[in-house]
Structure 1
Amino acid sequence: MPDFRLLWLGRVAAVLGIQIQSSALLWQVYEIARRDHPIEEASLYLGLVGLCQFLPLLAFTLPAGAMADRRDRKHTVTLSIIVEGMCAGAFLLMAMHGSPPLWGLLAVAAVFGAARAFLAPASQAFLPMVVGRRALPPAIAAQSIAFQTGAIAGPALGGVIVAVSVPMAYASAMALFLAAMACFILIRTKGKPQVDPSKLGPVQQVKEGLAYVWKTKIVLGAISLDLVVVLLAGVALLTPIFARDILHVGAIGFGLLRASFGVGALLMALYLSRFPIVRHGGRWMFGAVAVFGVCTLIFGLSKSVWLSGAVLFLGGAADMISVNIRQTLIQLATPDHMRGRVSSVSMLFIGASNELGEAYSGVMV
């Protein structure tokens, strides 16, 4: 499948860009904030990074899902990645001027969050059009491998590049977004979704998507689980604090800590692509959530960089089990003309759990 290979490579490039940019942004914001504020107040600015990316997700994700069921999904993905590349360029220009204002960094982060709001539902709904329904479970596992490849290499590379130069990190992210854009442009599969026979307007389509999620309990349960767990156990945003002021391992250690979670998730994704879970999915999912929670608790108490890295590794593996089961359930239970809207609801819950959970973590430090 040449188109799936391009889709896979584009996802790797995009995730690499996001992770490198995120590493640079978190480190830069924390470094600037720590010049004039104690740890408690500086951590609040890290929370604001998550909040600034969540609010656009909250505002635009549901309309973006309706658009993904009406407009060409491939075009939406490509345009969203172009905007992400422009945001990386804006970060680069500000970083080249020394110490940019925190409000400027947060404003660009909000624009980046808006682009992600349109990218996520369109890209998730586009996958079944490329591979077909029968190949969907292994394709989801392969997409998870693509994501975790970027999630591992991105923070590690980001930490190393940030240690050399923050502007270089933003330039690398911008180049990767351009590479991702090229991959999606080269995909030949048409991205126009099946026509919704209801002919509803955009607002009615959003309501129809919400109603479908609410009445389809297996989809609602799978989406809700991520919100509850990660909202109360989001630690990714706090890694600059642990790396700089608790574990004292610097920018490179910060990147390696962020990569540890992705290493565990990638190895588990590789295993699941070869040996997918076909029985007792509910038990596996809830067991994985329990392991994830325990790992988060140990990470918060750890004073050892090796223990912190180990529990992040195990937490990543457990999280991948849960993610794989939930995404497979959602895709298989959703008809094509509803996939954009259902994916948007899923991404809204994921955004609430990740970005809002990180904002909550920053406030609670």
Structure 2
Amino acid sequence: MADAGIGATTGERPPSIVQVLAHRPDFRNLWLGTLATQSGQWVLQVAIGWLMLDLTDSAFWVGLTGFAGGMPMLLLAIPAGVATDRFDRRSVLRTCQLGLSVLGLALATAVLLDIVTPWQLLLGAACNGSLMTINNTARQTMIPATVPRQEIASAIAYNTAGQSATRLVGPSLAGFSIAAVGGAGAFGLQAVCLALALLLTLQLPSESDNATTQRRRAPGALEGVRAVRQDRLLRDLILLAGIPTFAVFPYMQLLPVYARDILAIGPQGLGLLLASSGCGAVIGALLVGRTSPSRQAGRTLFAATIAYCLLVLGFAYAKSVWLSAPLLVFAGITGSAYLSLNNAILQMHVTDELRGRVVGVSMLTWGLMPLGALPMGFLAEHVGAPAAIASGVLLAIGLTISLSFGSPLLAARLPNEQV
């Protein structure tokens, strides 16, 4: 655990991202590894989506790619949480990064040999989703050990900012590499990013045998599920996280359709759309990191969710890139602020013995994205992308309002020690 020194105490403003990165070397290495990993992830996602559209000329197949890539989150999130509690988290992370780098090289080879097929892209998306499920769970659970407790909320927000910042780099690099050297170059770039992340992970200290042993002595694999079921705060946080993940977030899988068919801006323009969303997400996470704990965090979560939905609805019907890009920026701000705050409250609310398993349950919400991507892709194929996205947005708004009426804990003021 990092020592005390720059953490915010009661009444003080939390440390800036520069202060945390300068004074917390373990968090810095973890954060830089996150940047490398997520940059490679965005490169791979953009390349797979664009190649799938090029091979099939079908919005449904693009949505199916999102389904294949996200479904492992639903199937493996709980086992991933158990693994990060049972084994040394650095070793788990290192294994995932090696596998992801090999996957990028395999896809690059298939493209170079001109043998790539839609089914191979779906398999690649599924393998990537499986490894990223374990990778992301391990990264989330490692954050609290790299900073003092009073800096955990800021560190989580800054980690989210780092992940979001990769949208400014990864998609643009993918778009330019696809335009310049084709999909093989994009997949090769992803492999390089993951190799760099692996080197940074090797700089992190291994966990003590005592810490791993204590977690192994904790109750069984389903204890995370039981903890969430019995704790109203955790349960409502996860429900609130799951609503937009299922009904709204899958719109990202349709951005290739907007870039090519609606806005007519090509692969570079696709990178611009993703970068706009990433820019907003960085701003939103940094704002959360520098904001003192709020006693009205629950209300903030609900408000940010509704605002995010409305901004995505505006983007769905925008016909100009000059309107689409700013809407994605503001959607990124609200979406990132909401997710950062949600994750910070959850992490502050659990013990390290159960952290992996509870985070694994929380990661299940991301597994809802493929379940939403499939019907959204189907609707886009038959009624158009704008109407498909609007349907998801309206569903999310309705469910969020319903949850707010039935959730007095999240709608009420939260005490400082929980935030």
Class of the TM-score when normalised by the shorter of the 2 chains: over 0.9
Deviations 1:195-247 (A, max 9, x none): 447846xxx72221100011111111111112112311131000000110111
- Letter aligned with residue 126 of structure 1: M
* Structure 2 residue corresponding to 1:216, chosen from 231, 254, 267: 231
Distance 1:79 1:198 in 2: 20
Kept after mapping to 1: 8 A contact 2:35/2:162: yes
Cα shift at 1:151: 2.1
Deviations 1:317-346 (A, max 9, x none): 000111111011110111001010011111
SS in 1 for 2:221: helix
Distance 1:107 1:363 in 2: 20
Kept after mapping to 1: 8 A contact 2:75/2:367: no
Kept after mapping to 1: 8 A contact 2:305/2:335: yes
SS in 2 for 1:190: coil
* Structure 2 residue corresponding to 1:242, chosen from 229, 238, 258: 258
Cα shift at 1:16: 0.4
Deviations 1:57-89 (A, max 9, x none): 222221121111111111101111111111111
Distance 2:257 2:329 in 1: 19
User: What residue number does 2:92 align with?
Assistant: 76
* Structure 2 residue corresponding to 1:22, chosen from 45, 64, 72: 45
Q: Does 1:56 align with 2:72?
A: yes
Change (3 A) 1:89 1:131: same
- Letter aligned with residue 192 of structure 2: A
Q: Does 1:357 align with 2:380?
A: no
Kept after mapping to 1: 8 A contact 2:153/2:345: no
User: What residue number does 2:413 align with?
Assistant: none
Distance 1:244 1:274 in 2: 38
Q: What does residue range 86-125 of structure 1 map to in structure 2 within 5 Å?
A: 86-98=102-114, 100-125=116-141
SS in 2 for 1:262: helix
Kept after mapping to 1: 8 A contact 2:82/2:356: yes
Q: TM-score, normalization: structure 1?
A: 0.92
Cα shift at 1:97: 2.0
Q: Does 1:273 align with 2:296?
A: no
User: What residue number does 1:7 align with?
Assistant: 30
Deviates more, 1:142-151 or 1:270-279: 270-279
Distance 1:303 1:133 in 2: 46
4+ residue stretches of structure 1 with deviation over 6 A? none
Number of equivalenced pairs: 354
Deviates more, 1:96-105 or 1:42-51: 96-105
Deviates more, 1:188-197 or 1:103-112: 188-197
Kept after mapping to 2: 8 A contact 1:47/1:362: yes
- Letter aligned with residue 166 of structure 1: G
Kept after mapping to 2: 8 A contact 1:47/1:359: yes
Q: Does 1:178 align with 2:191?
A: no
Cα shift at 1:98: 2.7
Cα shift at 1:270: 2.2
Distance 2:292 2:277 in 1: 21
Deviations 1:31-71 (A, max 9, x none): 1111xxxxxxx111112111212332222221121111111
**Unmatched tracts of structure 2, length 5 or more:** 1-23, 381-419
- Letter aligned with residue 44 of structure 2: Q
* Structure 1 residue corresponding to 2:185, chosen from 150, 165, 168: 168
User: What residue number does 1:206 align with?
Assistant: 221
User: What residue number does 1:225 align with?
Assistant: 240
Distance 1:264 1:291 in 2: 13
Change (3 A) 1:320 1:227: same
User: What residue number does 1:39 align with?
Assistant: none
Distance 2:133 2:284 in 1: 27
Q: TM-score, normalization: structure 2?
A: 0.81
SS in 2 for 1:186: coil
**Unmatched tracts of structure 1, length 5 or more:** 35-41
Distance 2:195 2:217 in 1: 36
Cα shift at 1:109: 1.4
Deviates more, 1:312-321 or 1:121-130: 121-130
Change (3 A) 1:29 1:208: same
Q: Report the identity percentage.
A: 28
Q: What does residue range 250-269 of structure 1 map to in structure 2 within 5 Å?
A: 250-269=266-285
